[in-house]
Amino acid sequence: MTLIDAGPAGALRIAPSILAADFGALAHAVREIDAETDWLHVDVMDGHFVPNVSIGPPVVQSLRPYSGRFFDCHLMMTDPGRYLEAFKSAGADGCTVHVEVGGTATLIDDARALGLRVGLAANPDTPFEMVAPFLGDVDLLLLMTVFPGFGGQSFMGDVMNKVSQARREVDVNGLAVDIEVDGGMDARTAPIAVHAGANVLVAGSAIFSRREPLEAARALREAARGEL
């Protein structure tokens, strides 16, 4: 499977989360927003690390022919290591694992060995110090702006201190690491996150729950751009 290039680290990217799309018409949903999609964010929930269950590799595989975009798979799973290969084979370009599940160094190595772009995620109450030791080994740091498990929650502004801290660390050390935020992102909160130092914006409800998803994604990008 040829990997899709993620683009230069640090560039502004909109990553629509298909969690908020109509699962009965995913291919249509993905195509509809394609022109405003930089990465497609795939939320994987195992019913254990988070209370909810969503989708897995077969859905990634089924969607692959419908999108030429970078597939950014967010693994909200207690044991992501068991599934990295399956996601890679299904067509994932990048996989992000949560630092809270432990075994981080091994997970990063395993994902790397598979040729995946590697992300590390932290919940809103997980301190920056937990992810800091791995910053030089990953391509992406995902700082959750809601507690993972459900779409449609409210953006937690408190996390912006951590985003700024991460941005400083990345810039001071000249690291090629993207800083992604996920949860409650919309045209009001996106500029706040970009101002704090995030460059990849995940949005589910603010895109797919709108009457005109493509227009909503465009508005989100415009709002974020205004902050650059």
Scanning 1-9, 101-109, 124-132, 204-212 for contacts with ligand DX5 by CB under 6 A, the matching segment is 204-212
Tell me whether residue 137 is one of the annotated catalytic residues: no
Task: Tell me if 43 contacts Zn ion by CB under 5 A.
Answer: yes
C-alpha dist (Å) from residue 187 to 184, 190, 212: 10, 6, 14
Task: Tell me if 180 contacts Zn ion by CB under 5 A.
Answer: no
Give the whole-angstrom CA distance, residue 167 versus residue 178. Answer: 9
Tell me which residue has tokens 């799973």.
77
Q: Which two tokens stand for residue 14?
A: 């909109």
Q: Which of 141, 143, 202 is nearest to 177 (CA)?
A: 141
Task: Tell me if 43 contacts ligand DX5 by CB under 6 A.
Answer: yes
Catalytic residue (one of 43, 72, 110, 178)? 43
Tell me whether residue 43 is one of the annotated catalytic residues: yes
| Residue 131 binding target from ligand DX5, Zn ion, none, CB below 5 to 8 Å by type | none
Contacts (CB under 6 A) with ligand DX5, residues 128-157: 146, 148-153
Give the whole-angstrom CA distance, residue 200 versus residue 181. Answer: 6
Give the whole-angstrom CA distance, residue 168 versus residue 185. Answer: 22
| Residue 91 binding target from Zn ion, ligand DX5, none, CB below 5 to 8 Å by type | none
Residue 22 burial by Cβ neighbours in a 10 Å radius (0-12, 13-18, 19+):
exposed
Q: Which of 74, 88, 117, 167 binds Zn ion (CB under 5 A)?
A: 74
Residues serving a catalytic function are 43, 182
Residues found near ligand DX5 in the complex (CB under 6 A): 17, 19-20, 41, 43, 74, 146, 148-153, 182-185, 202-206
Residues found near Zn ion in the complex (CB under 5 A): 43, 74, 182
